[in-house]
Amino acid sequence: MSERPFKRKEYFEKLLTIPEQEIDYTESPSTKTADWEGAEVLFPITPEEFRAFREFIRDRRDKVEMLIAKPDGEKIKKIAILGEQFPDIHLFENSASEEDPLVDIGHNSKYTKRRSELQTDWHNALQFFLSKVFYDGCATTEC
Amino acid sequence: MLEYFWHAYKVLDRNRLRLLNPNFSLDYLDLQMEREGVKNRHDRRMVIDSLKMARNLDIWDNNITLYTLDRVRNGKITEVYKALVHKGDRGLHGIGPKRASVFIRDIVMIWKLEKHLNTDEDFITCVPIDTHVRRTCERAGIRVDSVITPSNDEESDLLLKKAIIDACKSLGVSPLLFDAGAWMLGMARDRVKINREIMGGKPVIRGRRIPVEQILRKLDAGILPDDIISDHPKLTLDDIRAAQVFAAGYLANEEL
């Protein structure tokens, strides 16, 4: 923030202490080129005051925005209903496409893993885990 | 991507009888994977770290699934999350919050364990965030309180997870189901395309020129997915799912 003449601060501070009808606007410091270059000089405030203003405006704006953008309850519920199909469609199907993360080596849908297999065989469980993190989570290289 | 998984898995499968033997060299395993085609060392390290984790799970028969089930049922889901997510000197190499959450979410959903989740922190472990979830949240009006400026993606995802959990809880909706629904919509978005130049702007399966409507009509007529695929060999089961999800999304007023 650029330096500003002290008298400006005095003038603006005075405005806060005297009644409005007593203000002599002719005393108002004229706006110079330098003022426009650093527009903040038009507001004779300290950096701390400026930051406080900025936070205030930001806070108010966010609160207003949050009031405007309320979660759409109906839409959220419908998406959750769609999610109810997720286990049936993606985790339990008898047949699975070759890209299904539950399909065993060889891309063969015959080998789709089931809950019971994941619980009984540590190797299947490891495979399931790796398929989740490699496939669904997309591994370090290209997806 | 999937290719790397198969390559890595082939090597694991070949050695499956000795993988748990502490004398079996993991360096040798690493070499085998590299030869098999898993060229990225981060991918190989991820596999090896996962195997190391399984080796340490003696109480749970070295089974990652059994370990996860037990911890979730005992209200210790965050323990699994921390064991998986790579941070400092703990966790598994290459496993970030998203990948860990995908695995935990699926375990919780497959075994219907949501009733064991008690705190927001519990839910945070199983709500993965990706671009699709983020986009769906925007459309559903779920927003992060922007007063807090996230310093990185992880923090940003965490804030969104909290926003999802808050919004869903206030509506009595499961955050996991919402997340899974958003995930499915994302998959459908990737597969269904609307282009004025193609089939008069009807939604079609990407790259197949088969209208979604046609698939839905066949399903409605009782034709099984396998038979639809026989009629249209270019179609996959995921395409048919995408058509169904697209229709469900359309009914939910969720623009695709």
pLDDT value for A138? 45
Residues A87/A93/A98/A102 CA torsion (nearest 10 deg): 60
- State which of A22-36, B64-78, B123-137 shows the largest mean pLDDT: B64-78
pLDDT tens-digit map of B148-197: 677 788 888 999 999 999 999 999 999 999 999 888 887 777 788 887 77
Q: In this structure, what are the phi and psi dihedrals at residue B90, rounded to the nearest 5 degrees?
A: -115, 170
- Sequence-distant (6+) residues with CB within 8 A of A99 are A135, B2, B236, B238
Q: Do you know the residue count of chain A?
A: 143
B177·A84 Cβ contact <8 A: yes
A137·B99 Cβ contact <8 A: yes
Q: Is residue B107 pLDDT above 50, yes or no?
A: yes
Chain B 117-176, residues with CB within 8 Å of chain A CB atoms: 128, 136, 139-143, 145-147, 167-168, 170-171, 173-174, 176
- A108: three-class secondary structure by DSSP: strand
B241 in reach of chain A (CB within 8 A): yes
Chain A residue nearest residue B11, CA to CA:
A105
pLDDT tens-digit map of A48-80: 887 787 777 777 666 666 555 677 888 898 888
Rounded to a whole number of angstroms, the distance from the CA of B199 to the nearest CA of chain A is 26
d(CA B98, CA A109): 26
Encoding tokens for residue B111?
A: 């075994």
pTM: 0.70
- B6: three-class secondary structure by DSSP: helix
The kind and range of the H/E element at B136 are: helix B131-139
Nearest Cα to B26, choosing from B6, B68, B55, B2? B55
- State which of A55-59, B69-73, B157-161, B248-252 shows the largest mean pLDDT: B69-73
On the 0-12 / 13-18 / 19+ scale of CB atoms within 10 A, A119 is middle
Mean pLDDT lowest among A19-33, A87-101, B164-178, B226-240: A87-101
Better-scored residue on pLDDT, B176 or A9: B176
Question: Rounded mean pLDDT of chain B?
Answer: 87
- State which of A88-97, B3-12, B42-51, B151-160 shows the largest mean pLDDT: B42-51
Give start and end residues of each alpha helix (H) in A28-69.
33-37, 47-68
Better-scored residue on pLDDT, A16 or A103: A16
By Cβ distance, the residue of B19, B40, B237 closest to A140 is: B40
